[in-house]
Amino acid sequence: MGIATGFQLPASPPIGLLRALVLLARIARLDSVLVPDHFQGFIPRALWDRRFSWLAARYPHPHAVYDYQVLLGYLAANAGRLRLGVGVTEAKRRHPVLLAQTMLTLAHATKRAPILGIGAGERENLEPYGLTFDEPVGVLEEALQIVRRCLEGSESIDFRGKHFRLDHAVMDLPVPRGRRPDVWVAGHGPRMLRLTGTYGDGWYPTVVGSPEEYATKLAAIRAAAAKAGRDSDAVTPALHQYVVVAPTEREARAVLETRAGRWAALLTAPPDAWRAVGAHHPFGDAFRGYVDVVPERYDRATLERALAAVPPELLGYGLVVGTPEQVTARLRQFARAGMRHVVLDLASALASPKLALYGLFVLPRIARSLAADA
């Protein structure tokens, strides 16, 4: 069985470009298009200039992000057979009943089942807006139970949890035939993997260090599914994968040396990876990367020191880097580890207009190669 390939949209202006990218994904016969759910982006304003990315000259605001619900509704009219989804949201800003209603509405507007990617959340979308990042996994566990009740069409929902309470709540919006939304859990740690196996229709991690790590975590998910009385293969093994692709390996590797490449390493390489090369993360040994970063809390001097501190061994950590052939070969390694659906995020588009266009040009080739694999 071949690998399904999707595309991650940036969810930033201009909106007409996003519609064009959806049409490109249809022409390329991709399987899915996902959009993020953020109040702000991961790149600090203090770094957002031409030295960081050519896009800064055209789009001066790195935190200009569309609401995913409205955006997916806008894109649905042109989606055709593409699966649309959010990758990912959380249940601190979005009540779980609202999440279920959004996905059910999208199921009525599209030809295929939408994807609800959901995780424990990120600090940047919570703390600056007066929300706490306390007990995120506990919130997610209760939310998953409620979302599943909504999608099952329960006549009324009573729920008494620590974080949510429902009293004869209803969600009567019917599931269109064959288009029941899938719930993909963005899990990495042991407890999150257990939740994925217990409640998820799919597993949607990001920044997995190696195919071996992927296989180990997938085995834990399947064990959790079996323990919950589910088919151990009930969970679709997916992956959100940042990709740096260029005509030559040298050009691709050069992207990792840029300020954007160094910032990526600060957000992707976990503390134990830093310690393994004899270094300490400049934001602290407990810093977990994109989960913990709040971009506007750092001044320019702190950010410059952090960029300079990235060890060369960590450049490209968790990314797939190289020519289209090398990218495809690496993704096949994840496929042999169990992956069945990959959503590609073209990180190299930040480097130059040439690489942005090149990534879009070769994306269909990579997708065809993966789809053809037995």
Q: Is residue 261 part of a domain?
A: no
DSSP state of 4: E
CATH number of the domain encompassing residue 221: 3.20.20.30
Reply yes or no: is the peptide bond before residue 88 cis, omega within 30 of 0: yes
CA distance 151 to 173: 9
**How far out from the chain centre does Cα 146 lie?**
22
CA distance 259 to 307: 7
Q: Is residue 320 part of a domain?
A: no
CA distance 19 to 25: 10
Q: Is residue 39 part of a domain?
A: yes
- Return the beta strands (E) in 25-114 as ranges: 32-35, 83-89
3-state helix, strand, coil in the chain (%, to 5): 45, 15, 40
- Directed axis angle between helix 324-336 and helix 211-227, to 10°? 30
Q: Is residue 278 part of a domain?
A: no
What is the pTM (predicted TM-score) of this model?
0.97
Q: Is residue 252 part of a domain?
A: no
Predicted confidence pLDDT, tens digits, the chain (374 residues):
689 999 999 999 999 999 999 999 999 999 999 999 999 999 999 999 999 999 999 999 999 999 999 999 999 999 999 999 999 999 999 999 999 999 999 999 999 999 999 999 999 999 999 999 999 999 999 999 999 999 998 789 999 999 999 999 999 999 999 999 999 999 999 999 999 999 999 999 999 999 999 999 999 999 999 999 999 898 999 999 999 999 999 999 999 999 999 999 999 999 899 999 999 999 999 999 999 999 999 999 999 999 999 999 999 999 999 999 999 999 999 999 999 999 999 999 999 999 999 999 999 999 999 999 85
**Containing structural domain, residue 195:** 4-241+338-346+363-372
CB atoms under 10 Å from CB of 234, counted, come to 15
The closest of 316, 313, 320, 318 to 245, measured between CA atoms, is 320
φ, ψ of residue 33 in degrees (nearest 5):
-135, 125
Provide the pLDDT for residue 374. Answer: 58
In the chain, the N- to C-terminal Cα span, in Å, equals 5
Determine contact, residues 146/157, Cβ cutoff 8 Å: yes
Q: Is residue 170 part of a domain?
A: yes
Q: Is residue 68 part of a domain?
A: yes
Provide the pLDDT for residue 373. Answer: 81
- Return the beta strands (E) in the chain as ranges: 4-8, 32-35, 83-89, 115-118, 157-160, 165-169, 182-185, 202-203, 236-245, 320-322, 341-346
Reply yes or no: is the peptide bond before residue 311 cis, omega within 30 of 0: no
- Split into its structural domains, the chain has a count of 1
CB atoms under 10 Å from CB of 247, counted, come to 13
Q: Is residue 368 part of a domain?
A: yes
Determine contact, residues 73/109, Cβ cutoff 8 Å: yes
